[in-house]
Amino acid sequence: MASSSPNVVLLSVAIWGLTFGGAPTLLQTAIADTAGDGADVAQSMLVTIFNLAVAGDGIAGGLLLEHVGASSFPLTLLLLGLSVV
Protein backbone atom coordinates (compact mmCIF):
# COMPACT_ATOMS: atom_id res chain seq x y z
CA MET A 1 0.00 0.00 0.00
CA ALA A 2 2.86 2.35 0.72
CA SER A 3 5.69 0.70 -1.19
CA SER A 4 6.77 4.03 -2.65
CA SER A 5 7.89 5.18 0.79
CA PRO A 6 11.07 3.41 1.94
CA ASN A 7 10.52 4.50 5.55
CA VAL A 8 7.09 2.86 5.69
CA VAL A 9 8.50 -0.34 4.19
CA LEU A 10 11.40 -0.42 6.67
CA LEU A 11 9.09 0.27 9.60
CA SER A 12 6.74 -2.48 8.47
CA VAL A 13 9.61 -4.98 8.21
CA ALA A 14 10.85 -4.00 11.67
CA ILE A 15 7.39 -4.43 13.20
CA TRP A 16 6.98 -7.80 11.49
CA GLY A 17 10.37 -8.91 12.82
CA LEU A 18 9.53 -7.84 16.36
CA THR A 19 6.16 -9.56 16.37
CA PHE A 20 6.99 -12.83 14.60
CA GLY A 21 10.77 -13.11 14.83
CA GLY A 22 10.74 -15.00 18.12
CA ALA A 23 7.92 -17.38 17.24
CA PRO A 24 10.10 -20.33 16.14
CA THR A 25 12.15 -20.18 19.34
CA LEU A 26 9.04 -19.96 21.49
CA LEU A 27 7.44 -22.88 19.64
CA GLN A 28 10.57 -25.03 20.08
CA THR A 29 10.75 -24.24 23.80
CA ALA A 30 7.05 -24.96 24.33
CA ILE A 31 7.15 -28.24 22.42
CA ALA A 32 10.30 -29.39 24.21
CA ASP A 33 8.77 -28.61 27.61
CA THR A 34 5.53 -30.36 26.71
CA ALA A 35 7.13 -33.44 25.15
CA GLY A 36 9.40 -34.21 28.10
CA ASP A 37 11.45 -37.32 27.26
CA GLY A 38 10.22 -37.27 23.66
CA ALA A 39 11.60 -33.78 23.03
CA ASP A 40 13.94 -34.94 20.24
CA VAL A 41 11.10 -36.51 18.28
CA ALA A 42 8.83 -33.53 18.91
CA GLN A 43 11.51 -31.09 17.73
CA SER A 44 11.99 -33.11 14.53
CA MET A 45 8.26 -33.13 13.90
CA LEU A 46 8.02 -29.35 14.45
CA VAL A 47 10.85 -28.62 12.01
CA THR A 48 9.36 -30.97 9.40
CA ILE A 49 5.88 -29.44 9.65
CA PHE A 50 7.30 -25.92 9.64
CA ASN A 51 9.28 -26.62 6.45
CA LEU A 52 6.30 -28.31 4.77
CA ALA A 53 4.17 -25.26 5.58
CA VAL A 54 6.73 -22.90 4.04
CA ALA A 55 7.05 -25.08 0.93
CA GLY A 56 3.26 -25.40 0.57
CA ASP A 57 2.81 -21.66 0.90
CA GLY A 58 5.46 -21.10 -1.76
CA ILE A 59 3.68 -23.46 -4.13
CA ALA A 60 0.29 -21.87 -3.43
CA GLY A 61 1.71 -18.38 -3.93
CA GLY A 62 3.37 -19.41 -7.18
CA LEU A 63 0.16 -20.91 -8.50
CA LEU A 64 -1.83 -17.81 -7.53
CA LEU A 65 0.75 -15.57 -9.15
CA GLU A 66 0.80 -17.60 -12.37
CA HIS A 67 -2.94 -18.11 -12.78
CA VAL A 68 -4.54 -15.05 -11.17
CA GLY A 69 -1.79 -12.48 -10.70
CA ALA A 70 -0.29 -10.58 -7.80
CA SER A 71 -3.52 -8.65 -7.27
CA SER A 72 -5.02 -11.83 -5.76
CA PHE A 73 -2.60 -11.81 -2.79
CA PRO A 74 -4.34 -9.22 -0.56
CA LEU A 75 -7.74 -10.91 -0.83
CA THR A 76 -6.22 -14.36 -0.30
CA LEU A 77 -4.35 -13.17 2.80
CA LEU A 78 -7.50 -11.54 4.14
CA LEU A 79 -9.50 -14.75 3.67
CA LEU A 80 -6.76 -16.84 5.27
CA GLY A 81 -6.52 -14.41 8.18
CA LEU A 82 -10.25 -14.47 8.76
CA SER A 83 -10.36 -18.27 8.59
CA VAL A 84 -7.98 -18.52 11.54
CA VAL A 85 -10.07 -16.33 13.80
| Burial readout 14-39 (b: 16 or more C-beta within 10 A, e: otherwise) | eeeeeeeeeeeeeebeeeeeeeeeee
pTM: 0.65
Using one digit for the tens of pLDDT, what is the confidence trace for 26-45? 999 999 999 999 999 999 99
**56-77 pLDDT, tens per residue?**
999 999 999 999 999 999 999 8
Structural domain spans, the chain: 27-84
